[in-house]
Amino acid sequence: MPKLSKGIKKNKGTRKTVTAQPSEIKIKINGRWHNFVPERDITPNMTLSYLLREKLGYTGLKVSCDEGACGACTVIMDGKAILSCMMLAVEANGHEITTIEGLKKDDPVVEAFAQQCEPGYGTALQCGICTPGFVMSTRALLNDNPIPTMAEVKEALSGHICRCGCYAAIAQAVTHASEKIAKKGE
Amino acid sequence: MKQPYKPRSDRKFVGGYRPRIDAWEKASGKVEYVDDITLLSRFPGMLYAKVMRSPHAHARIRKIDVSKAQQLPGVVAVMTYKDPEFASLRATNAGWTDGVDTVTYDRMMWRQFRDRRVLGDYACWVTDEVGAVVAAESEEIADQAIRLIDVEWEVLPFVLDPIEAMKPGAPLVHPEITQNNVLPKEKVGGDDVFLNKGDVDAGFAEAEVVVDGTSTHHNATQASLDNWCCLVNWTDEKLTLYSNSYEADQSRMHISQMLDLPLHKVNVISSYVGGQFGRGDTGEQPFFLFTAVLSKKTGRPVKFRHTRRESFHDSRQPAIYYGKVGAKKDGTITSLYFKSIGNTGAYADHSIFALKFAPMEIAEASFAHIPNVKLESYGVYTNKLPACMMRGVGNSQFNLIFGHVIDLLAEKLDMDPLDLCIKNFGHEWETLPDKSLVEVLKQGSEKIGWREKRHKPGQGQVYGKVKKRGVGFSIHPAWHAEWQETRRGHIPVSITLNPDGTVILDAPTVETGTGSNTCNVLGCAEALSFLGVTPERIHWNHVVNTETSMKDCVQTDSSVSYLQSEVLAVAAKEVRKEILKRAEPLLNAKSGELDIIDGRIFVRNNPDQGLSVKELLFQGDLVPIVVTTSRVPNAEKTGVPYFANFAEVEVDTDTGKVDVLHLVVINDCGTVMFASGAEAQQVGGQVTGMGEALTEEIIYDEATGVPLNFNWIDYKIPTMADMPDVDPILLEIWKGAGEYGACGIGEGTLTCTPRAIMNAIYNAIGVRINDIPIKPEKVLRALGKV
């Protein structure tokens, strides 16, 4: 197994986030800074999704494909939706991560996904395993673009797979979430 | 604004548009799946298991040396097929039951095809689990240990194509079972010719028009996002299994019988599952057993989970069908003949179920009025991955040829295929025309614009110089009515009415996403409507635990949506009886003189004399009213309803790309139990249906048998950007037995999708392509452009 320093040297210059060998790795997760000791807590090849799920117990994000093809592991980093299975934990050093556990209880996106049931579309979730990923991408989209067009919604969410096939209802839920946000004046 | 469906009768809760009962927990990420529940932090000392996989399509282990693996730090146990724990295990099958009932080893459905070892020395497809298993402190170490195992393989010749496999001299996959790779006759499926009604040859001779054709269904995969996962903790006291199998009771039976443990020493716990879609057929996954053996050996809890790539080990059975149909000039079908060759893959599992059992049900439900029908089928072993159930069991494959010959015949007769279907197809217990079929076709054709949009094949308007549009449809009988479910035996439910009027509902089933949990809460509220109970005041227990739960009703046949509600209707009457009995002394009246409306008990002749149920239950001992009851599904033969899919496509004749513009899904449900959930199934099923029709296919390297696209980058599942508008239509025309007389719809929503799209493509370009998925190169080849 390569040592952390070796991995960092390799990345030097290409990854802005890992410019020097850190003596500790600091990641802000759901509003709270966590300090990690390299090697002990975070190995060089550890993915962010592994750290969040297996080490810290944030199981809202799911690891399904583990290769960036399904979107189930989506979390928000510095306001943008990212695939946590495609990012090394060390790359999150100094950054702010929000997992679905970090959303408020009455988050309008969560509410809109949960309430979706109008005739003609079905519910926005069935088995529910892809849902947290969709919710986080929607949250990031609406943060940036509070009133997206349907084409923008489809573009933003087309990196996610829902095998139960709730896409039409998910798109409706995004629209409803957008309306809720406008109403709340967030 | 889309329109709601029109219910046949007014009901308070059943049939409503509303959120799922688990919607908030799922949307907020609070629901825990087995991989979430089995974290190391919750099971201190937990080890991770890995199994060796065959690099060859067909091979036997000559020698195995695990010494290097054993020496790797962090490895706790390495076991091989030679260890007595594995060598002593009986040969098995991964399809003991179709999930409808629980069965023992002796009564497994396919007892003639016990072709699997839990851990053996013989591999029948690339990535087959074989030879050795490892338990280590981390998955990485376990993986590394597997790579350190030295194996000397006896590499055997292999065969991937079922037609090649049937030829004399072909490599034999399971010589102990068959000497020509064809699965031999057995009790459930019957002979090769498994239905021979009337005289098909005479029927064809009598016909004025005869057409025939073929269709090919390739290997698609269920693709549940919840990869296979289990944790076993086998202590001196008992064996506990956490898994995402959808059959808790059957998994318990399987483990008990295979590992020789009494049932009360096996505890199977299942909670939410992230999608099932028929994967693995049933609850007899061999990996439960090797994980268990590792747990016993190490004395620690052991977790085994597939990577996404490994979870590609289940698929829909590929099948090649030939179909022939003869008719009079007026469209009366005189003879029908279908023959299939199914690519069973490396292990038989439920193969025959897809090839023989499912078509028999279709014949019963649709061909009852056709005098001459012959069905013939061959399940053939090859060195591809084993295949069977996937949202249906052989239905999609059969529909691909069925909808094809109908379209061919209608064209030759110059008849509208809708009229041809109505003229000929209906179930055994009704005269033609079938009311359900008539309405399904009427609604679907109106919604898609059948009369306006359909044109002579290839003769429609051209858009943007190169694009052509067309419409198509296909029909299928449902297969989830109550009388088809009697093999389940007693279905237990329990209602606990708390003193404050809230309810605990025990209607055990492993929730795989189908929404049956919401159906049952609505069914419970409906049945208890005399108490004024709302769904919000009913708690449904989502954990199935074989120590504390009653037997689970398995999510197979899409029928849990109504089966438990039928029992709840009976249980609610018992609750009412018990309330009235308890009220007798307080109201100085006999039960027969009392009534309950909206939670108030009163004397019928003197309505002012009464009290609320809460007032009643808050007196005395505060013991809740508990009614536990069970009921065997009603065997009355009521036939089945129909469903259909209509499609409109646009084909780019320059690039060969097919765009689906519109899909309409029509299901006669008998009774809609939960409208939003039913529509979710209808709309959602199209993702898999359209995927199978256009993009989804497991591709093998023909030279080595290596599957090439066990990942979601090269195995294309439609995303939100790919899906067209889908219109779901719910109907209540047919009615079965019982309070609701409903019928499951979930699996069938996608059965007709590929054929509807294929017929639409033919309507668009005037050339038939009968081999799915229809990728651009096939279109261009059909158009003579490559």
Q: What is the pLDDT of residue A5?
A: 36
Domain boundary among A101, A131, A157: A101
Please tell me the distance from the alpha carbon of residue B605 to that of residue B703, in angstroms, as a whole number. Answer: 85
Residues B719 and B619 in one domain: no
Residues A80 and A147 in one domain: no
Do A60 and A118 fall within a single domain? no
Q: For B37-92, how does the pLDDT look when each residue is reduced to its tens digit (9 = 90+)?
A: 999 999 999 999 999 999 999 999 999 999 999 999 999 999 999 999 999 999 99
Same domain for B621 and B649? no
In this prediction, residues B486-495 reach a mean pLDDT of 96
pLDDT value for A8: 37
Arithmetic mean of pLDDT over chain B: 96
Q: What is the complex's ipTM, to 2 decimals?
A: 0.97
Please tell me the predicted confidence (pLDDT) of residue A21: 66
Q: Is A15 inside a domain boundary? A: no
Domain assignment present for residue A2? The answer is: no
Closest alpha carbon to B506 in B497, B496, B514: B496
Picking from B25, B512, B728, the nearest residue to A122 by CB comes out as B728
Same domain, B615 and B688: no
pLDDT of residue B384: 96
Closest Cα in chain A to B510:
A127
Mean pLDDT computed over B156-168:
98
Instruction: Check: CB of residue B676 under 8 Å from CB of residue B17.
Output: yes
Flag whether B732 is in a domain. yes
A-contacting residues of B 26-45, CB under 8 Å? 26-33, 35-36, 39-41
- Mutation choice for A interface testing from B24, B26, B665 by most A CBs within 10 A: B26
Answer yes or no: are the C-beta atoms of B130 and B123 closer than 8 Å.
Answer: yes
Work out the minimum CA distance from B767 to partner chain A, whole angstroms.
30
Calpha distance A152→A142 (Å, rounded): 11
Q: Which of A101, A125, A148 is the last residue of a domain?
A: A101
Chain A environment of B728 (Cβ under 8 Å) = 120, 122
Whether residues A59 and A29 share a domain: the answer is yes
B720–A64 CB contact, under 8 Å: no
**Domain stop point among B576, B601, B631:** B631
B500 and B448 in one domain? no
> Which tokens hold the place of A165?
């096939």
- Residues B345, B125: contact at Cβ < 8 Å? yes
Q: Are A178 and A146 in contact (CB under 8 A)?
A: yes
Same domain, B433 and B573: no
Residues of chain A contacting B31 with CB distance shorter than 8 Å:
128
Predicted pLDDT at A1 = 33
| pLDDT beneath 50: ranges in chain A | 1-16, 18
CB atoms within 10 A of CB B95: 27
CATH number, domain of B114, equals: 3.90.1170.50
A127–B272 CB contact, under 8 Å: yes
Q: Residue B750: is its pLDDT beyond 50? A: yes
Write down the residue that tokens 């009771």 correspond to: B249
Say whether residue B2 is in contact with chain A using an 8 A CB cutoff: yes
3-state SS track over B79-142: EECCCHHHHCCCCECCCCCCCCCCCCCCCCCCHHHCCECCCCCEECCCCCEEEEEEEECCHHHH
Q: Is residue B662 part of a domain?
A: yes
Q: What residue of A is the nearest CA neighbor of B144?
A: A1
Q: Is the omega angle on the peptide bond into residue B433 within 30 degrees of 0, that is, cis?
A: yes
Residue A153 lies in a domain: yes
DSSP state of B170: P
**Residue B684: its chain A contacts at CB < 8 A?**
122, 126, 162, 164-166
Partner A, chain B 680-699, Cβ-Cβ below 8 Å:
680-688
DSSP for B447-460, written as a single string: HHTHHHH--STT-S
Q: Do B472 and B507 lie in a common domain? A: no
Q: Does the beta-carbon distance from B719 to A128 stay under 8 Å? A: no
Of the candidates B40, B225, B711, the beta carbon closest to that of A62 is on B225
- Rounded Cα distance, B288 and B248, in Å: 12
- Greatest pairwise CA separation for chain B in angstroms: 89
Range of the domain at B573: 23-30+490-631
Is residue B390 a part of any domain in this protein? no
Question: Is A95 in the same domain as A115?
Answer: no
B610, B631, B652: which is the final residue of a domain?
A: B631
How far is the C-alpha of A173 from the C-alpha of A50, rounded, in Å?
29
Contact present, A54 and A45 (Cβ < 8 Å):
no
Backbone angles phi, psi at B203, to 5 degrees: -65, -40
Q: A67, A127, A170: best mutation site toward chain B, by most B Cβ within 10 Å? A: A127
Q: What is the CATH number of the domain that holds B656?
A: 3.30.365.10
Burial of B56 (0-12, 13-18, 19+ CB in 10 A): buried
Domain with A119, as residue range(s), is 103-184
pLDDT digits (tens, 9 = 90+) for B11-43: 999 999 999 999 999 999 999 999 999 999 999
With respect to residue A26, please indicate whether it lies within any of the assigned structural domains.
yes
Q: How far apart are CA A81 and CA A137, in angstroms?
A: 5
**A-contacting residues in B 713-742 (Cβ below 8 Å):** 713, 717, 719-723, 725-728
Same domain, A160 and A113: yes
Q: Is B539 exposed, middle or buried (0-12, 13-18, 19+ CB in 10 A)?
A: middle
Neighbours of B534 (CB within 10 A): 14
Coil, helix or strand at residue B468: strand
**Could you tell me if residue A5 is inside a domain?**
no
Same domain, B431 and B476: yes
Estimate to the nearest angstrom the gap between the alpha carbon of B414 and the chain centroid.
Answer: 37
Question: Closest Cα partner for B406 from B241, B220, B215?
Answer: B215
Query: In this model, does residue B429 exceed pLDDT 90?
Result: no
Q: Is residue B738 within 8 Å of B486, Cβ to Cβ?
A: no
Predicted confidence (pLDDT) at residue B297 exceeds the cutoff of 70: yes
* H helical segments located in B335-434: 351-352, 358-366, 395-413, 417-424
B293 found inside a domain: yes
Partner-chain contact A122 B720, CB within 8 Å: no
Q: If contacts are CB pairs under 8 Å, which of residues 292-351 in chain B contact chain A?
A: 307-308
pLDDT in tens, B107-154: 999 999 999 999 999 999 999 999 999 999 999 999 999 999 999 999
B224 touches chain A (CB under 8 A): yes
Contact A123 B227 (CB under 8 A): no
pLDDT digits (tens, 9 = 90+) for B308-331: 999 998 899 999 999 999 999 999
Q: Do residues B244 and B33 lie in contact, with contact meaning Cβ atoms separated by under 8 Å?
A: yes
Confidence label for B283 from pLDDT (cuts 50, 70 and 90): confident
Q: Looking at residue A122, which CATH number applies to its domain?
A: 1.10.150.120
Query: Is A142 within a domain?
Result: yes
Q: Do A57 and B39 touch (CB under 8 A)?
A: yes
CA distance A70 to chain B (A): 7
CA dist B467 and B472 (Å) reads 17
Of A65, A130, A157, the CB nearest to B308: A65
Q: What residues of chain A lie within 8 A of the CB of B515, using their CB? A: 123, 126
Taking the C-alpha atoms of residue B506 and residue B509, their distance in angstroms, rounded to an integer, is 9
B379-416: pLDDT as tens digits = 999 999 998 899 999 999 999 999 999 999 999 999 99
Please indicate, yes or no, whether residues B111 and B151 belong to a single structural domain of this protein: yes
**At which of B631, B653, B676 does a domain end?**
B631
Indicate if the pLDDT at residue B556 is higher than 80.
yes
Nearest to B744 by CA among B492, B582, B558: B558
In a domain, B54, yes or no: yes
Residue B546 falls inside a structural domain: yes
Residue A13 is predicted with a pLDDT of 41
Which residues of chain A have a CB within 8 Å of the CB of B677?
Answer: 122-123, 126
Contact between A113 and B275 using a beta-carbon 8 Å cutoff: no
Q: Do A161 and B227 touch (CB under 8 A)?
A: no
Instruction: State the nearest Cα–Cα gap between B571 and chain A, in angstroms.
Output: 28
Give the CATH number of the domain where residue A52 resides.
Answer: 3.10.20.30
Using a CB-CB distance cutoff of 8 angstroms, which residues of chain A are in contact with residue B24? 110, 114
**Residue B512 touches chain A, beta carbons under 8 Å:** yes
Verify that B624 and B656 share a domain, yes or no.
Answer: no
Mean pLDDT, rounded, for B745-759: 97
Does B225 sit within 8 Å of A163, measured CB to CB?
yes
Query: Is B598 part of a structural domain of the chain?
Result: yes
Strand runs (DSSP E) across B613-742, as ranges?
625-631, 642-652, 658-668, 725-731
In one-letter notation, the amino acid at residue B315 is S
Q: What's the pLDDT at B463?
A: 97
- Which residues make beta-bridge pairs with B214? B322
Give the residue on A whose Cα is nearest the Cα of B391.
A164
Domain boundary among A101, A130, A160: A101
Instruction: Answer yes or no: is B102 within a domain.
Output: yes
- Reported as a single tens digit per residue, the pLDDT across B230-272 is 999 999 999 999 999 999 999 999 999 999 999 999 999 999 9
Please count the structural domains in chain A: 2
| Total number of domains constituting chain B | 3
Among the partner-chain residues B4, B222, B513, the one whose CB lies closest to the CB of A128 is B513
Domain check: are B431 and B512 in the same one?
A: no
Residue B753 has which token pair? 């999708």
Same domain, yes or no: B661 and B771: yes
Q: Are residues B449 and B477 in the same domain?
A: yes
SS (H, E, C) B753-782: HHHHHHHHHHHHHCCCCCEECCCHHHHHHH
Same-domain status, A127 and A66 = no
Q: Measured between alpha carbons, how far is residue B350 from residues A78, B172, B280, B317, B599 in Å? A: 49, 20, 10, 9, 49
Residue of A131, A163, A166, A170 to mutate for B, most B C-beta atoms under 10 A: A163
